[in-house]
Structure 1
Amino acid sequence: MSVTLNQLLEEGTGRLMKAGIQEAEIDARYLLLEAFHTDLTHFLIDRYRTMNETEKSGESIQDFYQMLALREKRIPLQQITGSREFMGLDFFVNEHVLIPRQDTETLVEQILKDYKGRNPRVLDLCTGSGCIAISLARLGGFESVVAADISDEALKVAKRNGEAILGKENITFLLSDLFDAIGSDEAFDVIVSNPPYIPTGVISQLQPEVRDHEPFLALDGKEDGLYFYRKLAAEGRNYLNPGGALYLEIGYDQKDAVSALLREAGFVNIRSWCDAAGLDRVVSGSIEK
């Protein structure tokens, strides 16, 4: 049986629409390009060309159908392809880490802006895929970065990304529940974290891709979503150099609560920034010099 790329795209789009996926055509196209190891330009050129039943084409078609079946089960696209772009860099992802979001780029971009031309010592807590730590090291040229996570499986992903993107070991990867494995004599200029911040009771209401396939540990901010912010605010200043700053990604409705926690813990110069959608996304505070 002969088939064209366009026919495969139409079939895939229809199947994903029936599965309740909102961006069905976009996802089907991504999977098609991945299966045929091609790009959008070549797809547009070749989409109406009938494919011969060669071994190579047959394998690519089967790969497409297999990935399509996974997406129909609401497995995230990025877990199927094993890849997610963040800050212009390509990160490997799997079921053990939170998929990097564009929202988090706001956090990285602000630190890069605040420390342009400087070389701060950085601690990234709840590092997950390592996207924050690695982006800061690569794009900011920061030479001393510690990336910590409570999950050994997540750290394996972060290390893999560090080796692929940096090509050298200028990041220390550490198994730690927040500050537990950080020495009491350690001090940093920047502590950054995108901690779990979704209230436990809200997780069941999330899209199946997030609720069922991303690590619960990376989502669950306990009862009110503020559990980790309380710990970061209370303990963070003990690991900052004079004048050092704590940068936190937050939920869109958590700015006031997180700012208050930082203020109560003695942080000054409390600032906040919105993401590209105009939603509150980052809060920071510093300690006096």
Structure 2
Amino acid sequence: MVTKRRDWGAIGFLLPALIVYLSVIVIPVFYSFFISLFEWNGIRDMKFVGFGNYKTLFTNDPIFIISIKNNLIWIVLTLLLTMTVALMLAVILNKKFHGRTFFRGFFYFPSVIAPIAVSIIWRWMYEPNFGFINQFAQSLGSDFFQTWLSNPKTSLYAIFAANLWAVVGQSMILFLAGLQTVSVDALEAATIDGAGAIKRFIHITIPYMRETFIIVFATLIIAGMKVFDIVMGLTAGGPNNSTEMLSTYMYSQSFRYNNVGMGTTVACIMVLIMLFIIVPYISFTAKEQ
């Protein structure tokens, strides 16, 4: 009987969290999928179209294809550049030197700035006529001039550079925490055996930081899939849809064009893409531990 009381007590404590989880996560997800099966403007009666919205997006919507392509480019750049820069900063700032606490805070500070504020800062940085970047290049005697945000060839990468500045500090902090878990004894033993700094980093440091890499990898992919604020603040998906993301296209369909069914379909596709990428990766890495 005592065991049963303890079980009911545990259920009682878990029940509030379960209710919140169901009402905030599970039910909205299934309801969103339900809405994606309809043609609906949010006001009038819903017209059932089955998987028609999904078919339209993949077969007759070039902007949606551009959005997926841009999100994939963003994720690749994030994994190649953001992770690399964050890891390099973490390794450097993990060493003992005077002022390292200041530099840790200096590189982390942009992460606490609101994304819309970051977009305002970088909009002025990219301003063609008197923005810092063009003005700095011209002060060096160069006739360099670039319309960063209005040029479809550079706009996406310009936004990514601004985002890199803003988010690299968060990943750096995670890597710094992971570096604290590396065994000092293992590093000293490898040094005695004649292993250089690169070999120690590859064969000792990285394996000890496996869990950290999993967390950083997952968080960066999720952030890359749902990037919204900085894109809306700098280009709002333009010029000519060249910086359209799945999140911005979802917003446009739902609130600009009053096509709630189609916008919800884009949201469901975003969730499925994240599940297909993240779940297998985490499952695979967890088995190797």
Which structure has the higher relative contact order (CA within 8 Å, separation 6+)?
2
- Is the strand fraction higher in 1 or 2? 1
Q: What's the TM-score once normalised by structure 2's chain length?
A: 0.29
Q: TM-score, normalised by structure 1?
A: 0.29
Greater helix share, structure number: 2
Higher CA-based Rg:
2
